[in-house]
Amino acid sequence: MGNMTLRGLVLSQYPSISDFANRVHWSRHRASNIVNGRQRPTADEMETLASALDISEPAMFMALFFPSLSTM
């Protein structure tokens, strides 16, 4: 996965954070805070993100949401 960030992944699949927010039925503010790292996603939000971004590989999930653990 390299150095892909959540923001980078969202913007590689959606034209904007607003489009992504509409897709997952979140406010733009909530999506922006999570995507830009100002707010840590809850377990439910991680599940929503993984589904919307088609993240099915455990390594990719860990790298995005638990980067300090994924290097072990």
Q: How far from 25 is each of 18, 35, 53, 68, CA to CA, in Å?
A: 10, 14, 14, 29
What is the predicted pLDDT for the residue at 67? 82
pTM of the model: 0.86
**pLDDT tens digits, residue range 38-52?**
999 999 999 999 999
Under DSSP, the state recorded for 16 is S
What is the predicted pLDDT for the residue at 58? 92
Q: How confident is the model at residue 68 (pLDDT cuts 50, 70, 90)?
A: confident
